[in-house]
């Protein structure tokens, strides 16, 4: 219930941004390898679907700043991303950026220093390409890397690395 309230409030705050000319929605299948960075180095293959709202801000004819916010299902997290989209040709874009990822999954347990509560917000990077089938429809392929070190023990933490593939639909008139 807490997640539904959070997403509802977020949607209300984002609605003025969505009235802009160049916004859209994407749905991606994210397959990744979760590696526990401890003495045993446990690895587990995982997958999740990620739904994101995005808005593009044009800097030049070939360069856009893209702001994204979303929600991941199965392994649950909320991505807040900011990146650049470089037009390589009429139909091909290079996407690079980073983001803040708020872990909401119950399997992700953090511990703070000296009994303090820990943060579930972590940083990550992404790089990928988009192929535009039309003015509004694109195919996405992205490499994602998130590192969640444990500040108490440098040999402990979690690493998520993997690929995502999906589609995006642009509601705006520009692309």
Which of the four pLDDT bands, split at 50, 70 and 90, describes residue 90? confident
CB 96 within 8 A of CB 83: yes
Could you tell me if residue 49 is inside a domain? Answer: yes
The residue assigned the tokens 């991303």 is: 81
In the chain, how many domains are there?
Answer: 1
Q: Please, what sign has the CA dihedral across residues 14, 143, 162, 172?
A: positive
* pTM confidence score: 0.75
Q: What three-state secondary structure class fits 173?
A: coil
Could you tell me if residue 152 is inside a domain? Answer: yes
Structure tokens of 5? 């309230």
Could you tell me if residue 52 is inside a domain? Answer: yes
Secondary structure of 145-164 in HEC code, one letter for each residue = EEEEECCCCCCCEEEEEEEE
CATH no. for residue 33? 2.40.160.20
Taking phi first (over 0 means left), then psi (-120 to 50 degrees means alpha), and beta for anything else, what does residue 58 get?
beta
Could you tell me if residue 8 is inside a domain? Answer: no
Domain region containing 70: 24-106+121-170
Could you tell me if residue 53 is inside a domain? Answer: yes
Could you tell me if residue 3 is inside a domain? Answer: no
Could you tell me if residue 31 is inside a domain? Answer: yes
Structure tokens of 155? 């040999």
CA–CA separation, 175 vs 173, rounded Å? 7
Strand pairing category for 157-170 and 121-132: unpaired
Cβ-count burial of 56 within 10 angstroms (0-12 exposed, 13-18 middle, 19+ buried)? Answer: buried
Could you tell me if residue 68 is inside a domain? Answer: yes
Convert the pLDDT of each residue in 129-165 to its tens digit.
999 998 889 999 999 887 765 555 555 566 778 899 9
Q: How many CB atoms lie within 10 A of CB 115?
A: 6
Which of the four pLDDT bands, split at 50, 70 and 90, describes residue 175? very low
CB 27 within 8 A of CB 33: no
Convert the pLDDT of each residue in 27-72 to its tens digit.
999 988 877 655 555 677 888 899 999 988 889 989 999 999 999 8
CA–CA separation, 56 vs 174, rounded Å? 9
The per-residue pLDDT for 165 is 96
């Amino acid at each position: 219930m807490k997640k539904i309230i959070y997403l509802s409030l977020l949607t209300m705050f984002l609605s003025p941004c969505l009235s802009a000319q160049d916004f859209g929605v994407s749905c991606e299948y994210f397959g990744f390898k979760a590696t526990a960075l401890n003495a045993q180095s446990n690895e587990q293959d995982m997958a999740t679907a990620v739904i994101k709202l995005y808005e593009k801000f044009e800097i030049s004819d070939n360069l856009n700043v893209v702001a994204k916010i979303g929600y991941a299902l199965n392994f649950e997290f909320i991505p807040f991303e900011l990146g650049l989209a470089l037009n390589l040709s009429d139909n091909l874009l290079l996407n690079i950026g980073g983001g803040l990822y708020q872990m909401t999954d119950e399997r992700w347990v953090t511990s703070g220093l000296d009994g303090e509560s820990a943060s579930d917000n972590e940083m990550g990077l992404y790089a990928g390409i988009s192929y535009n089938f039309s003015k509004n429809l694109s195919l996405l392929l992205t490499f994602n890397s998130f590192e969640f070190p444990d500040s108490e023990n440098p040999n402990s933490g979690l690493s998520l690395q993997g690929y995502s593939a999906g589609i995006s639909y642009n509601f705006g008139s520009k692309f």
